Chain A
Amino acid sequence: MHQVGEVPVLDLGGVLLVSIQVELLDDTVLALQQDLTERVAETGARGVIIDISSVDIVDSFLARALRDIAAATEVLAARTVLVGMRPAVAITLVELGLTLPGMTTALSVERGLELLDTRLDENYPTRQG
């Protein structure tokens, strides 16, 4: 049995939703990274949405972890969408040169779901489907 991390992962039927509400410590991030990859493999989800609209600070560690999560889920045939980044966070990341190339982003969870539904259906057919 694996221990579910401090960040809850919701299964919306084919799409995993992670809403980050707590302050992220490095350990939490690592736990989330492992938890998410395992859940994707278990459920065969075609998409992961990470909602960071409550996050004030994204440092280089978290930025790298997010990139790693995206890359790992990609290997497992699930597209990761990062949604709801705040303007201040976006500006800081750009100033730090952490532009997260290749990462799919969306304005809100709703938009993220639309994106997974419309654009990625053909490229990422669900294993259940």
Chain B
Amino acid sequence: MIIAAHGEAGARLRDFLDRRRDDIIGSWVETGFFGEAAGDAAADVRADCENVLTALSHVVETGNLHDPAAEPFQEIRALLGGLAAQQARQGNTAAQITANLTWLKEPVLRLWLDEQPEGQQRTEDVLALSAALDTLRLVVMETAVTEGADIIAHQQQQLAEMSTPIIKLWKGVLAVPLIGTLDSMRSQAATESLLQAIVDQQAQVAILDITGVPAVDTMVAQHLLKTAMAARLMGAECIISGIRPQIAQTMVQLGIDLGEVATRASLSDALAYALNRVGLSVTPAQRG
């Protein structure tokens, strides 16, 4: 059954919410959802309560009880988002945050039941109020989840940004220090930025340093090989360095063959090899 408060009922409920405003806000403030627990100033907490209550009474009046995208709810979305984020920072899940909102419903319904005479009308109005409050919960749930998704997207971007620095070691020699677990997305990003850097700097040699890669399995080896192959197609040579003894053993046990790609134990060995490839050599300085 769809409960809709229209016209008369809407006006009645709105009148009730406005008339008992102070009582409702008084009991809401005690629930802790509006940030008293977080130590916000009492005036701010009250103001937040009032905004939410205003939105609620608008929703009740228009009769648009089941639509979380209703105009009045849109207006308090930012406010609710802020409150939800505050609770999320305290370690509450989206479910816990919305559970807190259950406590908003009880005082409102109780006040309504207390002042109205029993009858069909009272029951229907309670259902309407209840529906509006449930929709409010949905809105909070939605903002809480969006908040979480935003944080995840932001962190992913941060991770992507920090995972692919391309370092110029010498004219024509680039190095990519790969750090952490290489999944498809990260290694693809690394490959793309390396190849672009090869073009931009006309680098003949690129060193892929895997000192910071905890484990090399067939997938990681595949990624490294693909990068090396693509670089070779463009006319540059790839060297893989930073292969620890255990990793070398694992690679042999897994039957990973890096083919014609040059490998070195350390970045310095790779640099020496790279300098040699571009026709340079390092000699001790002649002193006095």
Question: Which A residues have a C-beta under 8 Å from some C-beta of B?
Answer: 82-87, 89-91, 93-95, 99-100, 103, 105-108, 111-112
A-B contact pairs, 11 of them (CB 8 A): A87-B234, A90-B234, A91-B191, A91-B230, A93-B230, A94-B230, A94-B233, A95-B226, A106-B235, A107-B199, A107-B202
A107 touches B233 (CB 8 A): no
B234 touches A107 (CB 8 A): yes
Instruction: Kindly identify which residue among A82, A83, A87, A103 contacts B195, using a CB–CB cutoff of 8 Å.
Output: A87
B192 touches A107 (CB 8 A): no
A83 touches B235 (CB 8 A): yes
Q: For chain B, give the interface size range.
A: 10 to 19
A87-B195, A94-B226, A95-B226 given; A100·B233 CB < 8 A:
yes
Q: How far is the CA of A57 from the CA of B195 in the complex (A)?
A: 17
B195 touches A91 (CB 8 A): yes
B231 at interface by CB-CB < 8 Å: yes
- Of chain A, the residue at the smallest CB distance from B260 is A101
B235 touches A107 (CB 8 A): yes
What 1/0 mask marks residues of chain B from 33 to 75 whose CB sits below 8 Å from any chain A CB? 0000000000000000000000000000000000000000000
B101 at interface by CB-CB < 8 Å: no
Report the tally of A-B residue pairs with Cβ distances under 8 A. 60
Question: Which B residues have a C-beta under 8 Å from some C-beta of A?
Answer: 191-192, 195-196, 198-199, 202-204, 226, 229-236
Secondary structure of the B contact surface, majority rule: helix
Report chain A residues within 8 Å CB of B198.
87, 107
- Of chain B, the residue at the smallest CB distance from A91 is B230
A86-B199, A87-B195, A107-B198 given; A99·B229 CB < 8 A:
yes
- Of chain B, the residue at the smallest CB distance from A110 is B202
Instruction: Kindly identify which residue among B191, B195, B202, B235 contacts A105, using a CB–CB cutoff of 8 Å.
Output: B235
Least distance between B161 CB and chain A CB atoms (Å): 19
Least distance between A24 CB and chain B CB atoms (Å): 17
Q: How far is the CA of A93 from the CA of B195 in the complex (A)?
A: 13
- Of chain A, the residue at the smallest CB distance from B230 is A90
B235 touches A85 (CB 8 A): yes
- Of chain B, the residue at the smallest CB distance from A87 is B195
B235 touches A87 (CB 8 A): no
Q: How far is the CA of A95 from the CA of B233 in the complex (A)?
A: 12
A87 touches B196 (CB 8 A): yes
Least distance between A34 CB and chain B CB atoms (Å): 24
B235 touches A94 (CB 8 A): no
Q: How far is the CA of A32 from the CA of B31 in the complex (A)?
A: 80
Least distance between B35 CB and chain A CB atoms (Å): 50
8 tightest A-B CB contacts, nearest first: A87-B195, A90-B230, A106-B235, A105-B235, A107-B235, A90-B233, A94-B229, A94-B230
